[in-house]
Chain A
């Protein structure tokens, strides 16, 4: 199987470099692009059609705004692994772990949240599970964010699963 195509977006070069290095070391991933701003990210994503974007929440033009632009219809096409026209899988990466920040990213289309500094050697596995469709909110505020999201969602939208 072809490796997952990954774009890493973070304005902190040291952290971005570490992310790139860790993922490149794993045969499951190929880093096809890097970006330090939201604009760069959009351009890189257009060009490289990644399966996955690791998106820093606080970089200039990043966060919810960039997530929305990546995942909206008519946004950049995704690689073959991400399910075609639905855009790349967006995973938020941030040093901030409060529920409100997580919630904002989920609403903007991110399907995962990773807290910086807590990943250790688990990053490649966690990312693989996210690409597999699992929801991973690897941050202390994750549960609260989910609860809030459910509380805000209208009851009618809950599907009967019998």
Chain B
């Protein structure tokens, strides 16, 4: 036995080479009996060479792994080719003191007249594995961070984001559990949870009171100080004492609590639980704190958006109510005009007609006076009728161009004014109802001003839709506005047009010269999302 080994050992060159190896080197024959023990063996396994020589290599193996070793060795002896290190399988060496450590084993066969002699190179891979594991964790942390950022981008509200964060932490991050607590009545309220710790999280009873032991844990501190709190070894951490029993029962070994801010204030905290102690090293902490920053940024964005939406909703609502109130007022005036003035004048008109017949027969010299009275009544009635049309409610389901055509038709009907209403190509005239009303009323006002003051021969109305709204230009070739702004009879109407446009989030400009006047205005399709100051 061990003939080959002894021969190898007596060969000074072979021994010198083997002795210089930076790992444990063991030589053995097909009988698996050790006949060479390298000098590093004592460092790795705790055995002096003499303690191993002549013994089976099994003595260095983790007892659970001996059958696997033997299967491997059988295959190895069958083809007797070198087995390099770095196999997929990690074995464990057994030290003299009974402890084990991960090893990587290489086998180099050497044929001798006495059979196969094998040199096993055994490397302690504890550190290598630890590095690999750390890398793997960091990788996973990066992936988790990427998913967190995805969730931040996709979430539409704080609640959605909290839920997504917890899910990502558990599913991607491999954490035992995650939860987000928010200030609530009587302490911290869990607003989102994920993982297998629901029972644990439910029973946390975290206080925000610094004087209570339940307020001195990582979450309480994070909420108070705004600093992240890590419990590297949860069940031995004095500050987590109230939760040790519960935490241990759930396999919690470490925790990280990251405060989240909105508007500069700490509003909530994300807590992650791991089954590994000392998981949260400097690299992980950097990642988590960077992530918390992003989340806080998103929370601010949600708050901004919410404020914006609230303002926009308020504004749209106000605008609708304003337009509605104006329309109701118009309808009321129209009803009054109709009921009182027009009816009364119409009755006068009829009675004057009757009077004229009688006068015609009885006192022909008075007839002319009656005719003039009739004319006066007709003129006033015609004026009131214009007013009635102008006050008429806006027909629904009719587009702005059609409404402006009706308005122009009616406004200029008895006069020799040429008018046109055209729509520039390239957009639809779809507008919210209150915007149609606003745009029509401004246009009507402009047309009435032309009729009353411009002495124009031609009026052109051009509608120009764009993505955000519709522009309207009402141009005439009349005498223009009086020089001093505010002096002209149309001034109040101008101010009303500008007010209407601006209240709707649009604008209205009036340009006037000796060649005519252009009223140019624009209204958005919907009430705008921002208050225009």
Name A residues whose Cβ lies closer than 8 Å to a Cβ of B: 12, 14-15, 17-19, 21-22, 25, 58, 95-98, 100, 115-123, 140-141, 144
Report the contact-size class of chain B (Cβ under 8 Å from the partner): 20 to 34
Any chain A CB within 8 A of the CB of B388? Answer: yes
Q: Pick the 5 closest A-B CB pairs, nearest first.
A: A117-B381, A121-B353, A116-B346, A18-B350, A18-B347
Q: Which residues of B are found within 8 Å of A98, using beta-carbon distances? A: 389, 392, 406, 410
Kindly provide the distance from the CB of B48 to the nearest chain A CB, expressed in whole angstroms: 114
Chain A: CB-nearest residue to B351: A18
A74 to B392, CA, bound (A): 35
Within 8 A of A (CB), among B133-166: none
Q: Are B349 and A118 within 8 A (Cβ)?
A: yes
Any chain A CB within 8 A of the CB of B377? Answer: yes
Q: Which residues of B are found within 8 Å of A115, using beta-carbon distances? A: 385
A154 to B419, CA, bound (A): 30
Q: Are B395 and A15 within 8 A (Cβ)?
A: no
Q: Are A117 and B377 within 8 A (Cβ)?
A: yes
Kindly provide the distance from the CB of A95 to the nearest chain B CB, expressed in whole angstroms: 4
The 8 Å CB contact of A121, one of B344, B357, B385, is: B357
Known A18-B347, A19-B350, A140-B413: A121·B342 in contact at CB below 8 Å: no
Kindly provide the distance from the CB of A14 to the nearest chain B CB, expressed in whole angstroms: 4
Known A15-B350, A100-B395: A120·B342 in contact at CB below 8 Å: no
Q: Which residues of B are found within 8 Å of A25, using beta-carbon distances? A: 354, 357
Any chain A CB within 8 A of the CB of B414? Answer: yes
Kindly provide the distance from the CB of A10 to the nearest chain B CB, expressed in whole angstroms: 8
A115 to B351, CA, bound (A): 15
Any chain A CB within 8 A of the CB of B409? Answer: yes
The 8 Å CB contact of B414, one of A15, A21, A123, A140, is: A140
Q: Are B389 and A117 within 8 A (Cβ)?
A: no
Name which of B346, B351, B356, B406 has the most chain A CB atoms within 10 A of its CB: B346
Chain B: CB-nearest residue to A98: B389
A120 to B355, CA, bound (A): 10
Any chain A CB within 8 A of the CB of B378? Answer: yes
Any chain A CB within 8 A of the CB of B338? Answer: yes
Any chain A CB within 8 A of the CB of B241? Answer: no
Any chain A CB within 8 A of the CB of B339? Answer: yes
Q: Are A15 and B343 within 8 A (Cβ)?
A: yes
Q: Which residues of A are found within 8 Å of B374, using beta-carbon distances? A: 120-121
Q: Are A95 and B346 within 8 A (Cβ)?
A: yes
Q: Are B354 and A21 within 8 A (Cβ)?
A: yes
Any chain A CB within 8 A of the CB of B352? Answer: yes
Q: Which residues of A are found within 8 Å of B389, using beta-carbon distances? A: 96-98
Not counting A25-B357, A97-B389, A120-B353, a sample of 8 additional A-B residue pairs whose C-beta atoms are within 8 angstroms of each other reads A15-B343, A15-B344, A21-B354, A96-B389, A100-B395, A117-B382, A119-B346, A120-B374
Known A15-B346, A98-B410, A100-B395: A117·B356 in contact at CB below 8 Å: no
Any chain A CB within 8 A of the CB of B394? Answer: no
Q: Are A95 and B350 within 8 A (Cβ)?
A: no
